[in-house]
Amino acid sequence: MAETTGPTTPVALVEEVYGRYPERVAVGRRRLGRPLTYAEKVLFAHAEDPHTIGLERGVDYADYRPDRVAMQDATAQMALLQFMTAGLPRVAVPTTVHCDHLIQARVGAEIDLKNAVDANSEVYEFLRTVSSKYGIGFWKPGSGIIHQVVLEQYAFPGGMMLGTDSHTPNAGGLGMVAIGVGGADAVDVMAGWPFNTKVPKVIGVHLKGGLSGWTAPKDVILKVAGILTVKGGTGAIVEYFGPGCESISATGKATICNMGAEIGATCSMFPYDDRSAMYLKATEREEIADLANEYARHLRIDPEVEEEPERFYDRVVEIDLDQLEPHLVGPHTPDLDRPVSEVRGAAETEGYPPEISYALVGSCTNSSYEDIGRAAHVARQAKTAGLTVRSPLLITPGSEQVRATIERDGLLEDLEAIGASVLANACGPCIGQWKRDDIEMGDRNTIVTSYNRNFPRRNDGNAETLAFIGSPETVVGMALTGRIDVDFVHDGVPGPDGEAVHLEPPVADELPAKGFDPGDAGFQPPARDSGTVDVVVHPGSERLELLEPFAAWNGADLTGLRVLLKAVGKCTTDHISPAGPWLRYRGHLTNISQNLFTGVSNAFADGHGNGVDTRDGSVKPLPDLAREYKEAGIEWVAIGDENYGEGSSREHAAMEPRYMGGRAIIVRSFARIHEANLKKQGVLALTLADPADYEKFRADDTVDVVGLAELAPGKPVTVVAHHADGSRDEIRTTHTMSEEHIEWFRAGSALNVLRQQS
Ligand code: MIC
Ligand code: SF4
């Protein structure tokens, strides 16, 4: 049991983990009869039992023991409300909470932070006390974005962690298996249970050559996203290898791993190298670097794998960094990739508004010292040439440590000198926490960001905002031209006198020469005596609500279910349970359920978020329809398309349907975290055996899900759609439920099982 959770990973923990490597890696090699990828070594080192753990990648389920758990404020509320009901005294593994998602960008860092503290005081107080009581470390608002803080303080090569945020894989930049999960998965581990998941496949990305010029780490992942697409990484760990790795800083590697979430990967990771050691030293973890050096041969792939990658990876992708150009992806999806040099043509053909209304640098994926340094180098050159930004430029530093350091080193000043504004150390516009006054809802406009997501409505709630993603230096270059149809890399930036100004490729220190300035760090350790801490959830609160258990399965087949909706095309968690203003209700299931499916395009009703009440044919907002069905005791299913639930780890997207009477979600394919979240909440997550059967569901069907008494791993489930004209279709679906997952369905949710057993 964890003593207590501190502000950094104790060396003893790392030592204990490394101590297991030699024997466990040997067991892995022996059992598999072959050399190992790096991901496999980390997984064997964290297996519940390396001698019996399932071996078949993409097939077997396995139990792992992660070293730590991290949660951000928007997901921690629901996770901790669940943990509280388990009746346990303390968390069983080191765990931290980070306050970053609830800060709205409006005026600038200081005022925005103060406003957030006022506006969210009830939630912050809940998170602070609940953390203190259960042995969890608490990072207060303003301390930074979870993934940056984790990289700076907690990540270590060869470790394994879970985080209730899909960009948790950021820590893969330091060689960690860091997996984004829903709150219920985190609750298991905090409760002392293993993390159960399918043994991941392993995709190898072979990096040849080296990064240089305008090409940044971001461009590597934008390219990979273009190759693998938003579902190409599903069920797989993406492991980078080859000589190109050493040309990328640790924080650059983290950028690449962070955005691996956008291709659906379980996580991404880089091998341990000198750049990792440098980063560990710069962040005052020299002892961990020394230990990692001692175990270095385990913290990378076996040499045989490097020689013949095709034999050992499920798929190999090759990227020649010498040839890689700066890229820009979007709009609306992170896998629509183009070199910056081709954006002009695309803007003309596709009719994207060429003027950039805003340029934004930062977010958990691109806000390191090096990122800001490269952006600042571009800014300095621009200033010398007499340029200022032609589009407003907003900067969000990733952590208080980065902010204090870039301020001390004058980098913020460089950016401000060309007209940039600095926002609080938080997610801000990346998660729709952005109050823009320059446009009306519905105005079509273009923004460029160095963020990781660009789904419609994501940043400002406006479906007509087209968001493009590039590296920080690309975003600053574009802010200078103010247009996406100017190739600033090759053609330069129009200068004050009309002559083109040619900017030199950015150069910056990857780590601060004078060391990091911690700033006002903001860590609060948990109480030693939890008995002294009261956790208050006010009964009438609109922000927090204690959870009632979902009802257990009554043993009968599900019959007469209505089809609440049939989602057409992309249906991300931002469509199912949008963020932005709704982040306010992340601790209140009843209130947040009023956003259910509001972003979805439904085959049966026009616009977004509408559905047909099959009782009288009227069209109404989906949350209202779901609530009316619930009140009338009518249960329902939702039908989805490919990669349903892509995006966030927010389990609200699974809890809300469950709470509102949804019993099954039937789709062409699922995104990993969302499928796991549905199963945890006792919702049947069913995949159409024949994707064409999607067409068979009609608005006025009633649906049965039959044979549930014989529900078994690997056994298809029959869904019967009864059409209004009296005809019917029997549709075969598959599922990924193990015995344990079936138990959750029967009990009503995984939490109900935990409650019974604890
Ligand atoms: C996101 O980037 O979408 C978020 C907001 O960080 C989410 C978590 C959440 O919805 O709270 C994620 O990526 O998991
Ligand atoms: Fe925050 Fe955006 Fe990163 Fe999500 S992707 S953790 S919202 S900065």
Segment 291-335, tens digit of pLDDT: 999 999 999 999 999 999 999 999 999 999 999 999 999 999 999
Q: What is the pLDDT of residue 3?
A: 56
* pLDDT band at residue 530 using 50, 70 and 90 as cut-offs: confident
In whole angstroms, give the CA distance from residue 187 to residue 88: 11
Q: Which H helix or E strand runs over 676?
A: helix 672-680
* pLDDT band at residue 339 using 50, 70 and 90 as cut-offs: very high
Mutational pocket test of ligand 1: of 71, 73, 75, 652, the residue with most ligand atoms within 8 Å of the beta carbon: 75
How many whole angstroms from 258 Cα to the centroid of ligand 1? Answer: 12
In whole angstroms, give the CA distance from residue 204 to residue 233: 11
Instruction: Provide mean pLDDT across the span 699-725.
Output: 98
* Phi, psi angle pair for 531, to nearest 5°: -60, -20
How many whole angstroms from 636 Cα to the centroid of ligand 2? Answer: 32
DSSP structural state of residue 298: G
In whole angstroms, give the CA distance from residue 58 to residue 198: 6
Q: What is the pLDDT of residue 601?
A: 97
pLDDT greater than 70 at residue 654: yes
Sign of the CA dihedral running 365, 367, 373, 375 = positive
Q: Which H helix or E strand runs over 361?
A: strand 356-361
Nearest to 424 by CA among 109, 690, 687, 7: 109
* Tens-place pLDDT, residues 5-23: 899 999 999 999 999 999 9
In whole angstroms, give the CA distance from residue 691 to residue 697: 12
* Tens-place pLDDT, residues 162-202: 999 999 999 999 999 999 999 999 999 999 999 999 999 99
Mutational pocket test of ligand 2: of 364, 365, 577, 650, the residue with most ligand atoms within 8 Å of the beta carbon: 364
Do strands 356-361 and 327-329 pair parallel, antiparallel, or not at all (unpaired)? unpaired
Nearest to 234 by CA among 22, 57, 399, 354: 57
**CB 671 near ligand 1, within 6 Å:** no
**CB 99 near ligand 2, within 6 Å:** no
Instruction: Provide mean pLDDT across the span 261-272.
Output: 97
**CB 254 near ligand 2, within 6 Å:** no
The CB density around residue 358, as the number of other CB atoms within 10 Å, is 23
Q: List, in order, residues 6 or more apart from 455 with CB less than 8 Å away.
A: 332, 333, 570, 572, 574, 575, 647
How many whole angstroms from 692 Cα to the centroid of ligand 2? Answer: 35
Token pair of 145 as six digits: 């974005």
- Position in ligand 2 atom list of the atom nearest CA 362: 8
Q: Ligand 1, atom 3: nearest CA belongs to which residue?
A: 648
In whole angstroms, give the CA distance from residue 753 to residue 256: 37
- 3-state DSSP of 115-178: HHHHHCHHHHHHHHHHHHHHCCEEECCCCECHHHHHHHHCCCCCCEEEECCCCHHHHHHHCCEE
How many whole angstroms from 556 Cα to the centroid of ligand 2? Answer: 42
* Catalytic annotation, residues: 100-101, 165, 453, 648, 650
How many whole angstroms from 184 Cα to the centroid of ligand 1? Answer: 15
**CB 98 near ligand 2, within 6 Å:** no
Do strands 445-449 and 465-469 pair parallel, antiparallel, or not at all (unpaired)? parallel
Sign of the CA dihedral running 156, 334, 414, 420 = negative
Nearest to 98 by CA among 426, 545, 428, 579: 426
* Tens-place pLDDT, residues 29-58: 999 999 999 999 999 999 999 999 999 999
How many whole angstroms from 221 Cα to the centroid of ligand 2? Answer: 16
| The residue count for the chain | 758
Token pair of 99 as six digits: 């306050």
How many whole angstroms from 431 Cα to the centroid of ligand 2? Answer: 6
**CB 452 near ligand 2, within 6 Å:** yes
How many whole angstroms from 77 Cα to the centroid of ligand 1? Answer: 13
Q: Ligand 1, atom 7: nearest CA belongs to which residue?
A: 648
Q: List, in order, residues 6 or more apart from 565 with CB less than 8 Å away.
A: 597, 600, 602, 603, 604, 605, 611, 622, 638, 639
- Position in ligand 1 atom list of the atom nearest CA 579: 10
Distances (CA, A) of 397 to 106, 252, 310, 417: 15, 15, 40, 17
DSSP structural state of residue 587: B
Nearest to 91 by CA among 101, 104, 82: 82
Would you tell me the crossing angle of helices 109-119 and 121-134 to the nearest 10 degrees?
70
The CB density around residue 388, as the number of other CB atoms within 10 Å, is 15
Count CA atoms within 13 Å of residue 260 on its CB side: 34
Instruction: Provide mean pLDDT across the span 675-695.
Output: 98
Q: What is the pLDDT of residue 2?
A: 43
**CB 426 near ligand 1, within 6 Å:** no
Q: What is the pLDDT of residue 381?
A: 97
How many whole angstroms from 430 Cα to the centroid of ligand 2? Answer: 6
**CB 579 near ligand 1, within 6 Å:** yes
The CB density around residue 509, as the number of other CB atoms within 10 Å, is 15
Q: Strands of 137-139's sheet, edge to edge? A: 177-180, 160-163, 68-72, 95-98, 137-139, 523-524
b/e code 642-651 from CB counts within 10 Å (16+ = b): bbbbbbbbbb
Count CA atoms within 13 Å of residue 514 on its CB side: 11
In whole angstroms, give the CA distance from residue 129 to residue 102: 17
The ligand minimizing its distance to the Cα of 170 is 2
Percent of the chain with pLDDT over 90: 93
**Helix ranges restricted to H, 365-449:** 369-384, 400-408, 411-417
pLDDT greater than 90 at residue 241: yes
Instruction: Provide mean pLDDT across the span 72-91.
Output: 96
Q: What is the pLDDT of residue 238?
A: 98
**CB 401 near ligand 1, within 6 Å:** no
Q: Ligand 1, atom 5: nearest CA belongs to which residue?
A: 431
**Residue 637: exposure state from Cβ atoms within 10 A (0-12, 13-18, ≥19):** buried
**CB 75 near ligand 1, within 6 Å:** yes
Q: What is the pLDDT of residue 518?
A: 87
Would you tell me the crossing angle of helices 183-190 and 750-757 to the nearest 10 degrees?
20
- Position in ligand 1 atom list of the atom nearest CA 652: 10
In whole angstroms, give the CA distance from residue 97 to residue 79: 11
Mutational pocket test of ligand 2: of 139, 148, 165, the residue with most ligand atoms within 8 Å of the beta carbon: 165
How many whole angstroms from 164 Cα to the centroid of ligand 1? Answer: 8
**CB 399 near ligand 1, within 6 Å:** no
Cβ-contact 226, 337 below 8 angstroms:
yes
**Residue 596: exposure state from Cβ atoms within 10 A (0-12, 13-18, ≥19):** buried
How many whole angstroms from 557 Cα to the centroid of ligand 2? Answer: 40
Mutational pocket test of ligand 1: of 120, 185, 431, 451, the residue with most ligand atoms within 8 Å of the beta carbon: 431
* pLDDT band at residue 1 using 50, 70 and 90 as cut-offs: very low
The ligand minimizing its distance to the Cα of 148 is 2
**What is the pTM (predicted TM-score) of this model?**
0.96
Nearest to 101 by CA among 421, 648, 579: 579
Q: Ligand 2, atom 1: nearest CA belongs to which residue?
A: 427
- Position in ligand 1 atom list of the atom nearest CA 458: 3
Tokens 């990979």 sit on residue:
224
**Residue 1: exposure state from Cβ atoms within 10 A (0-12, 13-18, ≥19):** exposed
How many whole angstroms from 165 Cα to the centroid of ligand 1? Answer: 5
**CB 423 near ligand 2, within 6 Å:** no
- Position in ligand 1 atom list of the atom nearest CA 583: 11
Token pair of 219 as six digits: 């461009």
Q: Ligand 2, atom 7: nearest CA belongs to which residue?
A: 431
Q: What is the pLDDT of residue 554?
A: 97
Q: Ligand 1, atom 6: nearest CA belongs to which residue?
A: 165
* Tens-place pLDDT, residues 448-501: 999 999 999 999 999 999 999 999 999 999 999 999 999 999 999 999 898 999
DSSP structural state of residue 432: T
- Position in ligand 1 atom list of the atom nearest CA 650: 10
Instruction: Provide mean pLDDT across the span 369-398.
Output: 96
Token pair of 357 as six digits: 């209304």
In whole angstroms, give the CA distance from residue 543 to residue 583: 10
Mutational pocket test of ligand 1: of 80, 166, 168, the residue with most ligand atoms within 8 Å of the beta carbon: 166
Would you tell me the crossing angle of helices 73-85 and 121-134 to the nearest 10 degrees?
50
**CB 365 near ligand 1, within 6 Å:** no
pLDDT greater than 50 at residue 533: yes
**CB 167 near ligand 2, within 6 Å:** yes
Do strands 195-198 and 61-64 pair parallel, antiparallel, or not at all (unpaired)? antiparallel
- Position in ligand 1 atom list of the atom nearest CA 431: 5
How many whole angstroms from 690 Cα to the centroid of ligand 1? Answer: 31
Helices H / strands E in the chain, number of each: 26, 30
Q: What is the pLDDT of residue 697?
A: 98
Q: List, in order, residues 6 or more apart from 17 with CB less than 8 Å away.
A: 45, 46, 67, 156, 158, 159
**CB 128 near ligand 1, within 6 Å:** no
Mutational pocket test of ligand 1: of 149, 162, 167, the residue with most ligand atoms within 8 Å of the beta carbon: 167
**CB 102 near ligand 1, within 6 Å:** no
